[in-house]
């Protein structure tokens, strides 16, 4: 960990080249979106306008995925609660 930025370890298989690589620190990434997020969070003082737009798109896509994940959790909890209530009503009824 240098300069207060947490950098997780990455492992790229020898037979699979990384899909994207940071042009500033040459770190490999499995997706271009991960690379755009990295550049926006670590190298934001050096980025170009295109990289800024890619970062904004990646953040928006990540927000959409996080919202969908939360919706799945809420629906799953609701269904679980409904099933427990129905079982409880059947057992006591």
76-93 pLDDT, tens digit each: 999 999 999 999 999 998
Q: Quick one: how far is CA 92 from the chain centroid?
A: 45
How many angstroms separate the CA atoms of 67 and 38, rounded?
21
In a domain, 65, yes or no: yes
pTM for this entry: 0.70
pLDDT confidence of 1, banded at 50, 70, 90?
very low
22-80 pLDDT, tens digit each: 899 988 888 899 899 999 999 888 889 999 999 999 999 999 999 999 999 999 999 99
In a domain, 3, yes or no: no
In a domain, 9, yes or no: no
Domain that holds residue 58: 20-92
Count: domains in the chain: 1
Torsion of CA 68, 70, 75, 76, to 10 degrees: 110
Kindly list the distances between the CA atom of residue 93 and the CA atoms of 31, 56, 81, 87, 90, in Å, as whole numbers in the listed order: 54, 55, 18, 10, 5
């Amino acid at each position: 960990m240098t300069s207060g930025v947490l950098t997780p370890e990455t492992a790229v298989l020898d037979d699979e080249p990384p899909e994207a690589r940071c042009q500033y620190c040459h770190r490999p990434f499995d997706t271009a979106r991960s690379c755009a997020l990295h550049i926006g969070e670590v190298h934001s003082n050096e980025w170009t306008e295109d990289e800024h737009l890619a970062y904004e798109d990646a953040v928006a896509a990540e927000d959409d995925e996080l919202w969908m994940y939360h919706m799945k959790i809420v629906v799953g909890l609701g269904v679980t609660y409904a099933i427990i209530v129905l079982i409880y009503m059947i057992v006591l009824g």
